[in-house]
C-alpha cells in the first residue's frame, strides 16, 4: 500500500521509501499498470495521483501520456524517494493532505488513488476533494486491497500471527473489516460523492518471492501496519511468529520460490 495521504490510520508507519519499495512497492508497480488500464483516463490533460507514496502509480501514468502528472502525499520520506526515480522529472511530487488538496477547482482531467483510501482519516472527504479538483467529465478512480479475501501474503502472515499472539488479531481485524475492503465499499463511496457512471471491478496481480527470506525480511523494515506490528514484538515472540509463518509459507515443501495472488477492488466514475 502507499503512504497515507491524510491522517494515517492506527499503526501506519511510512518512514523509509527504499524500505517500502522492498516491502510492497515492487508489487504496487504491477498493480498500477492494471489500475491504469481499468481507469481509462482521458488521453489528454493534467492528471493527479492522490496518496502517491513512492510514486509507482504516478510513474505509470506519466509513461502513458504527454501532459503533466501531479502527485501528492503526506510522507516526506516516500516523496524524497519518488523524486529520485527514473522518470520522476516529468512528475510534480508535492507534500500535502488528500482531505484538503492544494489545487483549484477543475484542475485535472483525472484523479486516481491507489491503495490509500483505507488509510486516511475520512475517505469521504478525500473523494469529495478528488471530485472538486477534477473537471466535469473527468475520470476519478480508486483501488484498495481486498484484504479479506484477495491478499494471500497478508492473510498468511496475520492469520498465523493471530493464532500465536492475541495482540495480532486487533491489527488484522482493523484492516480486514474496513468498509472499503468489502466488495461494494468503493462503489458506495463513489456514488456518495455524486459521481456518475460508477463502474467497479477487481484487479489481480501476482507477488513472486525467491524464498522465505525474500518474503519475511521486508516485513522487518517497519513500513505499514505489518512493519509496525513486527517491530513491537518481543524477541522471543518475534522468533515464534517467524517460525510459524515460515511453516505456512513452506506448506510442506522445500524453501524456494512462491507466487501469491493479490487482488484489489477498483472503482471508476465520472465527475458531473
What tens digit of pLDDT does each residue of 204-214 get?
A: 999 999 999 99
**Average pLDDT rounded to a whole number, residues 193-209:** 98
**Average pLDDT rounded to a whole number, residues 198-222:** 97
| Cβ atoms 203, 150 nearer than 8 A | no
- List, in sequence order, every residue forming a beta bridge with 267; answer none if it has no partner: 142, 200
User: Domain coordinates of the chain in residue numbers?
Assistant: 17-270
Q: Quick one: pLDDT at residue 168?
A: 96
pLDDT exceeds cutoff 90 at 5: no
| Cβ atoms 116, 50 nearer than 8 A | yes
Q: How confident is the model at residue 12 (pLDDT cuts 50, 70, 90)?
A: low
Helix (H, G, I), strand (E, B) or coil at 260: strand
Cell 482493523: give the residue: 174
Q: Quick one: pLDDT at residue 251?
A: 97
Enumerate residues 6+ apart whose C-beta is below 8 A from 245.
156, 157, 160, 161, 216
Q: What are phi and psi of 56, to 5 degrees?
A: -65, -40
**Average pLDDT rounded to a whole number, residues 189-205:** 98
Cell numbers describing residue 28: 504496487
Q: Quick one: pLDDT at residue 130?
A: 98
Q: Quick one: pLDDT at residue 185?
A: 97
Rounded alpha-carbon distances, angstroms, from residue 44 to 28, 136, 184, 252: 24, 14, 30, 52
Domain 17-270 homologous superfamily, CATH: Vaccinia Virus protein VP39 (3.40.50.150)
Average pLDDT over the chain reads 94
**Average pLDDT rounded to a whole number, residues 185-189:** 98
Compute the distance between CA of residue 267 and CA of residue 244 in angstroms, rounded to an integer: 36
pTM: 0.93
Cβ atoms within 10 Å, residue 204: 12
Helix (H, G, I), strand (E, B) or coil at 56: helix
Q: Quick one: pLDDT at residue 107?
A: 98
**Average pLDDT rounded to a whole number, residues 135-163:** 97
pLDDT exceeds cutoff 60 at 8: no
Q: How confident is the model at residue 13 (pLDDT cuts 50, 70, 90)?
A: confident
Amino acid at each position: 500500500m502507499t503512504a497515507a495521504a491524510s491522517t494515517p490510520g492506527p499503526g501506519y508507519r511510512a518512514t523509509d521509501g527504499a524500505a517500502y519499495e522492498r516491502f510492497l512497492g515492487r508489487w504496487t508497480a504491477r498493480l498500477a499498470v492494471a489500475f491504469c488500464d481499468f481507469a481509462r483516463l482521458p488521453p489528454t490533460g493534467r492528471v493527479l495521483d492522490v496518496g502517491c507514496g513512492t510514486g509507482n502509480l504516478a510513474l505509470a501514468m506519466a509513461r502513458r501520456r504527454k501532459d503533466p502528472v501531479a502527485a501528492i502525499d503526506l510522507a516526506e520520506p516516500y516523496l524524497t524517494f519518488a523524486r529520485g526515480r527514473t522518470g520522476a522529472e516529468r512528475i510534480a511530487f508535492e507534500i500535502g493532505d488528500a482531505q484538503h488538496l492544494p489545487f483549484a477547482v477543475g484542475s485535472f482531467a483525472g484523479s486516481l488513488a491507489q491503495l490509500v483510501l483505507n488509510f486516511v482519516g475520512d475517505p469521504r472527504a478525500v473523494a469529495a476533494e478528488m471530485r472538486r479538483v477534477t473537471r466535469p467529465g473527468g475520470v476519478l478512480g480508486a483501488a484498495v486491497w481486498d484484504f479479506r479475501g484477495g491478499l494471500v501474503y497478508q492473510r498468511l502472515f496475520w492469520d498465523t500471527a493471530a493464532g500465536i499472539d492475541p495482540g495480532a488479531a486487533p491489527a488484522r481485524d482493523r484492516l480486514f473489516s474496513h468498509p472499503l475492503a468489502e466488495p461494494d465499499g468503493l462503489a458506495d463511496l463513489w456514488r456518495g460523492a455524486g459521481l456518475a457512471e460508477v463502474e467497479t471491478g477487481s484487479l489481480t496481480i501476482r507477488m513472486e518471492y525467491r524464498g522465505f527470506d525474500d518474503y519475511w525480511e521486508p516485513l522487518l523494515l517497519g513500513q505499514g501496519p505489518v512493519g509496525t506490528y513486527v517491530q513491537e514484538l518481543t524477541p522471543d515472540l518475534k522468533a515464534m511468529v517467524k517460525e510459524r509463518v515460515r511453516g505456512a509459507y513452506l506448506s510442506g515443501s522445500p524453501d524456494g520460490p512462491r507466487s501469491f495472488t493479490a487482488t484489489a477492488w477498483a472503482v471508476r466514475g465520472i465527475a458531473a
